[in-house]
Amino acid sequence: MSGNCPEGAVIFYRIYKIKDSTMFDLKVMNSVLGELEEERGIPRAKVIEAIEAAMATAYKKEYAKKGQVIRAHIDLSAGTTEFQQIKTVVDDTTVRFEEEGEDAEPAEPKLDLEGNPIAPLPYYNEEQHIKIEDAKFIKRDSAVGDELVFPLEAQESYGRIAAQTAKQVIIQKIREAEKVSVVAEYGARQGEIISGTVQRMERGNIYVDLGRATGILPYEEQIPGERYRQGERIRGLLYQVEESPRGIYLRLSRAKPEFLVKLFEMEAPEAAAKTVVFKAIAREAGSRSKVAVASTDPHVDPVGSLVGQRGVRVSTVTSELGGEKIDLIEWNENPKTFIEEALSPARVLGVELDEEEHKATIKVAEDQQSLAIGRGGQNVRLAAKLTGWRIDIQSVGGKPIDAVEGKDAPAPVAPPPIATE
Distance CA 172, CA 179 (A): 11
Q: What domain count does the chain have?
A: 3
Mean per-residue pLDDT, 187-211: 92
Given a contact cutoff of 8 angstroms between Cβ atoms, the answer to whether 358 and 273 are in contact is no
Q: Is the pLDDT of residue 412 over 50?
A: no
- pLDDT for residue 143 is more than 90: yes
The answer to whether position 39 is within a domain reads yes
Q: Domain ends where: 229, 253, 277?
A: 253
CA distance to 206, 211, 292, 387, 406, per residue, from 358 (Å)? 41, 50, 20, 11, 11
Residue 204 predicted with pLDDT over 60:
yes
Query: What is the average pLDDT across 90-101?
Result: 80
Q: Which pLDDT score is estimated for 102?
A: 53
**pLDDT for residue 4:** 45
Residue 364 has pLDDT above 60, yes or no: yes
- pLDDT recorded at residue 156: 67
Domain co-membership, 203 together with 144? no
Contact 3, 247 (CB under 8 A): yes
Mean of the per-residue pLDDT values for the chain?
Answer: 82
Domain CATH code at residue 391: 3.30.300.20
Q: Which amino acid would we find at residue 411?
A: A
pLDDT band at 74 (very low <50, low <70, confident <90, very high): confident
Q: How many H-runs (helices) and E-runs (strands) does the chain carry? A: 12, 16
The single-letter code of the amino acid at 226 is: E
pLDDT digit string (tens) for 3-34? 444 444 455 545 554 444 444 555 666 666 77
Is the omega angle on the peptide bond into residue 298 within 30 degrees of 0, that is, cis? no
Do 161 and 35 share a domain, yes or no?
A: yes
Residues 378 and 405 in one domain: yes
Domain assignment present for residue 248? The answer is: yes
pTM above 0.85, yes or no: no
**Domain closes at, from 152, 178, 204:** 178
Residue 270 belongs to some domain of the structure: no
pLDDT score for 138: 92
Return the pLDDT at 411: 45
The range of the structural domain enclosing residue 129 comes to 6-98+119-178
What pLDDT does residue 63 have?
Answer: 83
Q: Is there a contact between 197 and 231 (Cβ–Cβ < 8 Å)?
A: yes
